[in-house]
């Protein structure tokens, strides 16, 4: 399986701090996508990084990808209470489907 | 911004009943998917659909499940005879016709089987 596995499972930080979570996977990928899910809601796409890319930025988000280590990280800078959610990495292959990890639950304390 | 829409948002059904979950993918997308998430668990791939046929399906997607694109806009998931373990959030998703593109998800349909 090429499923991503996130680490840590849960993270609690103070508003304004940075949050970093990691994702590891097992087999070759075409791309890796990060999603956010608020409790009981849908999956919101955050960022996609392709296998030939090493780093991408989107607003307060920074994603890195190390294909040699089969790992990715998501950094949220200057966190806000609204960032409280579960974050999932999902690996994509050439067959178009995504394999999701178990997610990291982030709680941002005001 | 275009989005994937799903109905119903929540459905309660009795065990053994048939359920149809409906989705309207983003209009210029050609790949469609169903995923599910049992409460507290990972999001799991069920099926992908392209060019009016299933392109891939998981072990979960057994004979009780079927998908259909009845017209140019809707994409449906049918569960023929629901079981208690089918209780989950079902997500529809779609993506443009290029490998490695973003897959966009809908808000989901909560299915509770009692």
Residue-wise pLDDT tens digits, B42-68: 999 999 999 899 999 999 999 999 999
pLDDT value, residue A1: 45
pLDDT at B100 over 80: no
Mean pLDDT of chain A: 92
Cβ atoms within 10 Å, residue A62: 17
Tell me the mean pLDDT in the region A93-108: 88
CA A65 to chain centre: 11
Specify the pLDDT at position A95.
Answer: 65
Least confident segment among A46-55, A75-84, A89-98, B49-58: A89-98
- pLDDT, position B86: 97
Check if the beta carbon of residue B29 is closer than 8 Å to that of residue B95: yes
Share of chain B above pLDDT 70, in %: 98
Distances, alpha carbon B97 to alpha carbons A93, A96, B29, B94, in Å: 14, 9, 6, 10
Distance CA A98, CA A90 (A): 6
Q: In this structure, are residues A109 and A12 in contact, taking their beta carbons and an 8 Å threshold? A: yes
Q: Which residues of A touch B (CB under 8 A)?
A: 3, 30-31, 33, 35, 40-45, 48, 50, 88, 90, 92, 94-103
User: Does position B87 have pLDDT exceeding 50, yes or no?
Assistant: yes
Helix (H, G, I), strand (E, B) or coil at B84: helix
* A92 vs B83, more confident: B83
Q: Is the pLDDT of residue B21 over 70?
A: yes
Interchain CB contacts (distance < 8 Å): A and B: 64
Does residue A96 or residue A23 have the better pLDDT?
A23
CA angle A20, A23, A29 (to 5 degrees): 140
Interchain CB distance below 8 Å, A98 and B103: yes
Are A98 and B102 an interchain contact pair (Cβ–Cβ within 8 Å)? no
User: Among partner residues B93, B99, B102, which is closest to A94 by beta-carbon distance?
Assistant: B99
- Residues B20-30 have a mean pLDDT of 94
């Amino acid at each position: 399986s090429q499923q991503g596995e996130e680490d840590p499972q849960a993270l609690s930080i103070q508003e304004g701090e940075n949050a970093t979570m990691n994702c590891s996977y097992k087999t070759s990928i075409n791309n890796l996508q990060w999603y956010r899910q608020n409790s009981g809601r849908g999956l919101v796409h955050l960022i996609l990084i392709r296998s030939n890319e090493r780093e991408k930025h989107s607003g307060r988000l920074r994603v890195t990808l190390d294909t040699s280590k089969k790992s990715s990280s998501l950094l949220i800078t200057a966190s806000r209470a609204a960032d409280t959610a579960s974050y999932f990495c999902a690996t994509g292959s050439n067959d178009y489907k995504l394999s999701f990890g178990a997610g990291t639950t982030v709680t941002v304390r005001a | 911004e275009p989005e994937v829409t799903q109905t119903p948002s929540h459905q309660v059904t009795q065990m053994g009943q048939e359920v149809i979950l409906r989705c309207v993918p983003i209009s210029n997308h050609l790949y469609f998917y169903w995923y599910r998430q049992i409460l507290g668990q990972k999001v799991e791939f069920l099926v992908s659909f392209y060019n009016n046929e299933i392109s891939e399906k998981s072990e979960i997607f057994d004979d009780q499940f079927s998908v259909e694109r009845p017209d140019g806009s809707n994409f449906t998931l049918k569960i023929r005879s629901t079981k208690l373990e089918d209780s989950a959030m079902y997500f529809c998703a779609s993506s443009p016709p290029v490998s490695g593109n973003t897959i966009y998800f809908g808000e989901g349909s909560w299915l509770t089987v009692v």
